Structure 1
Amino acid sequence: MIKGWHGWLGTINGVVLITVAALPLAALVVWLLARRRGGGGPAWRRSLAEVGMVYGTVPWVWMIMLPGDRAGAVPGRVSLVPLRDLLTVLASGPLTVTVQIVGNLLVFAALGFFGPLRFAALASVPRILALAAACSILVEVAQYVLRLDRVSSVDDVLLNTVGAGLAALASRRWWPAPAAASPDRPRPVPAAER
């Protein structure tokens, strides 16, 4: 069994257990937020999207920011050749492939799924891809700068971004419709009429 604070906060198993244990709390927060906002359909949607983004992203980022065995003792490592690390993973066996690839696809999947539901400005696959790529680059740079005994890889950025994009496509039917032009807002005058 997990013993001590490091076992809970500093290991992948501990993070997974905390995440599972926090699910009822996340559901309670959704309920409280929705109720505070009036309890209608939009209030539930907004509350679920906010909590879903946080609950679905923080544990993954937490896990990939856990230091390795030689953290601080070895310099940061970088892999900037696309698909090199991915090919190495594919050659290492089915369990490693599943954990590495699926894990990387899920890092920003909640952000990709719930982001457009919560923020109309994100209701576009290119915007989600750009946001996920920026977040992933930030995480990879942090791994390098903090010398966490991890490889900062362009393949991780690619997989994290693809995962967010696929999740965004999965939620597309629930995205809010683009706002129609308001009758009290002036219509732009075409250049030919000026």
Structure 2
Amino acid sequence: MAARRIRRIVLAGLAILGLAVVAFAVRRPLLMSAPACLTGQWHGCFGTENGVLLMMLAGLPPAALVVWVLALRRRAAGSTRSSAWRTSLAEVGMVHGTVPMLWLTLMPGPGAGVVPRRVSLVPLRDLATMGPLGIGGNLVILAALGFFAPMRFAALATLPRILALAAGCSALVEIAQYVLWLDRVTSVDDVLVNTTGAVLAGLASRRWWRTPAGVRTGRPRAAPASTR
């Protein structure tokens, strides 16, 4: 029990340290949007990439509060402590980590509704033009969904289903970009990279995946000895 508690503390510390490092690395571009948000210029918050990321980080404390409230309600309803916290964290994590990313992908470019629609259906052709930043950004678009969905839904707790879910969601986003004429390239490589990020994130959370009801994960009980 003590070793498990120490491991949890270490993991939480590493997660906080990782968030601090990321926040420090992107502090300058994010703080560029802070004055607009503080003065009520909401386009600077929700109409720019920096603003959306800033609001996502600012929303972490309220999201943590929602997780706490949901976990308390589940505990009061009879759920175990681990199940209540895992389910609540998965629900909030999916929403908080995915919605802002999808918002970014559906933001219109400067030529929205004017420039011709662009479609790229040849796999791996666009990867060279994405660059490290573009590839990294596409990897995290659906990472939260891939990480938390199998923790919340037992029906999604397999790699093929995570892959299918991520590929379907990414394809819908690309189709929406084309239909809404957002001055973005509808690319099959975006689907491939988005899906890869979701699958990798799912592998990272595999030990916490939800198991179907009635499935026993421990050792099977020994059969009772027959009596004569």
TM-score when normalising by structure 2: 0.73
| 1:76–1:143 CA contact under 8 A, matched in 2 | no
Alignment of 1:75 onto 2:116: yes
**Greater Cα offset, 23-32 or 169-178:** 169-178
1:33-85 CA deviation, whole Å, 9 max, x = no partner? 11111162211110000001111111111111111011111232110000111
Instruction: Give the structure 2 partner of residue 48 of structure 1.
Output: 89
Pairwise CA RMSD of aligned residues?
A: 1.5
CA distance in 1, matches of 2:105, 2:187: 12
CA distance in 1, matches of 2:55, 2:128: 32
In the TM superposition, what is the alpha-carbon distance from 1:178 to its structure 2 partner?
4.4
Match of 1:156 among 170, 175, 190: 190
Instruction: Give the structure 2 partner of residue 7 of structure 1.
Output: 44
Instruction: Give the structure 1 partner of residue 134 of structure 2.
Output: 100
Instruction: Give the structure 1 partner of residue 100 of structure 2.
Output: 59
Instruction: Give the structure 2 partner of residue 191 of structure 1.
Output: none
Instruction: Give the structure 2 partner of residue 88 of structure 1.
Output: 129
In the TM superposition, what is the alpha-carbon distance from 1:124 to its structure 2 partner?
0.2
Alignment of 1:175 onto 2:212: no
The residue type equivalent to 1:118 in the other structure is R
CA distance in 2, matches of 1:26, 1:150: 31
| 2:155–2:212 CA contact under 8 A, matched in 1 | no
CA distance in 2, matches of 1:14, 1:25: 17
The residue type equivalent to 1:49 in the other structure is A
3-state SS of the aligned residue for 2:115? Answer: coil
Q: Which structure has the higher relative contact order (CA within 8 Å, separation 6+)? A: 1
CA distance in 1, matches of 2:132, 2:93: 24
CA distance in 1, matches of 2:215, 2:115: 57
| 2:45–2:52 CA contact under 8 A, matched in 1 | yes
Instruction: Give the structure 1 partner of residue 147 of structure 2.
Output: 113
CA distance in 2, matches of 1:59, 1:181: 35
- Structure 2: which 5+ residue stretches go unaligned? 1-31, 217-228
Alignment of 1:19 onto 2:56: yes
Instruction: Give the structure 2 partner of residue 138 of structure 1.
Output: 172
User: What is the number of residues matched between the two proteins?
Assistant: 175
TM-score when normalising by structure 1: 0.86
In the TM superposition, what is the alpha-carbon distance from 1:161 to its structure 2 partner?
0.4
The residue type equivalent to 1:167 in the other structure is A
Percent identity between the two aligned chains: 66
